[in-house]
């Protein structure tokens, strides 16, 4: 069974640009969550999608948005990039709504560098 | 708001020895879950062990076990017979029953000496 895949794996952008990251969950998984990992702030929850609906949102500005498609694949978008958006973006999928009962399986991440 | 604290930024252990990583958390919920995740240099997060708060019995997974002290809000990870492949960043995490949000601690970097 294929794991969670994220594309692209590495991305370099300049300030002010926008970026779209993609996440394909494990087959049969309907929940996708996104996390940002930086050396200073650690791992922070961005949002969770389940059946194409955003179920939970972290404390990030509106420049960060996401969506989920009917095949459970998810994308996240960051507009007007700032230097501080440089981070590893991790996606995780689970069978049902994530949380304690359903294990979250993580992808390898997308490393975003903003110059 | 829930918080997770790992007070040991770095730990070191000799191969085949035992090491314990500490984690404390704060929550007003009575039903929640606690996790230890491993993140090797590849950056792939891997679930090591999970504890359900309503279960008093400590979780174990092969060489990994936890000491869950609910009243003290403490959740430590013990790694027995440490192996070189255990070297990684270890994150303690919390989740309630309301949704998919995992709250992570700052991590403990574990090195294993041969």
Query: Over the stretch A9-35, which tens digit does the pLDDT of each residue have?
Result: 999 999 999 999 999 999 999 999 999
d(C-alpha A40, C-alpha B25), whole Å: 20
Where does residue A39 fall: left (phi above 0), alpha (psi -120 to 50 degrees), or beta otherwise? Answer: alpha
Give tens-digit pLDDT for B51-60. Answer: 999 888 899 9
| A10 shares contact with chain B (CB less than 8 Å) | no
Q: How many secondary structure helices (H) and strands (E) does chain B include?
A: 0, 12
* A83: helix, strand or coil: helix
Q: Tell which residue, A106, A14, A68, has the closest CA to residue B42.
A: A106
Interface contact flag, A90 B45, Cβ < 8 Å: yes
Spell out the residues 6+ positions from residue A41 whose beta carbon is closer than 8 angstroms to its own. none
How far apart, in whole angstroms, are the C-alpha atoms of residue B1 and residue B27? 7
Put simply, whether B91 touches A (Cβ < 8 Å) is yes
Q: Taking CA A20 as the corner, what is the angle to CA A17 and CA A21, rounded to the nearest 5 degrees?
A: 135
What is the mean pLDDT of the segment spanning B62-82? Answer: 96
Chain Cα centroid distance, residue B105:
9
Residue B14: CA atoms inside 13 Å, Cβ hemisphere, count?
1
Residue-level pLDDT at A71: 95
Half-sphere exposure of B25 toward its Cβ, with a 13 Å CA cutoff? 32
What does the mean pLDDT of chain A come to?
93
Pick the more confident residue, B96 or A12: A12
Burial class of residue B38 (count of CB atoms within 10 Å of its CB; 0-12, 13-18, 19+): buried
CB contact (8 A) between residue A100 and residue B32: yes
Q: Give which of B101, B103, B105 to mutate to test A binding, by max A Cβ within 10 Å.
A: B101
What is residue A99's three-state secondary structure? coil
Confidence of residue B1 (pLDDT cuts 50, 70, 90): confident
Whats the size of chain A, residue-wise?
115
Residues of chain A neighbouring B54 (CB-CB closer than 8 A): none
Query: What is the mean predicted confidence (pLDDT) over B37-50?
Result: 93
* pLDDT given for residue B99 in this prediction: 64
Helix %, strand %, coil % of chain A (to 5): 5, 50, 45
């Amino acid at each position: 069974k294929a794991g969670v895949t994220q594309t692209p794996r590495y991305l370099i952008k300049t300030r002010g640009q926008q970026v779209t990251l993609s996440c394909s969950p494990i087959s049969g998984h309907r929940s996708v969550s996104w996390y940002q990992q930086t050396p200073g702030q650690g791992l922070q929850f961005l949002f969770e999608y389940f059946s194409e609906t955003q179920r939970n949102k972290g404390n990030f500005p509106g420049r960060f948005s996401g969506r989920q498609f009917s095949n459970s694949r998810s994308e996240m978008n960051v507009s007007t990039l700032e230097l501080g958006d440089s981070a590893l973006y991790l996606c995780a999928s689970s069978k049902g709504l994530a949380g304690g009962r359903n294990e979250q399986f993580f992808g390898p991440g997308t490393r975003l560098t903003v110059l | 708001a829930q918080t997770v604290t790992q007070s040991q930024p770095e730990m070191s252990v000799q191969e085949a020895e035992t090491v314990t990583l500490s984690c404390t958390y704060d929550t007003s919920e009575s039903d929640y879950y606690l996790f230890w995740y491993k993140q090797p240099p590849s950056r792939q997060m891997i679930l090591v062990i999970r504890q359900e708060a309503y279960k008093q019995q400590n979780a174990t997974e092969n060489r990994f076990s936890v000491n869950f002290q609910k009243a003290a809000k403490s959740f430590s990870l013990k790694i027995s017979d440490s192996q070189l492949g255990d070297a990684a960043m270890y994150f303690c995490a919390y989740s309630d029953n309301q949704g998919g949000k995992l709250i992570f601690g700052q991590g403990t970097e574990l090195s294993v000496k041969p």
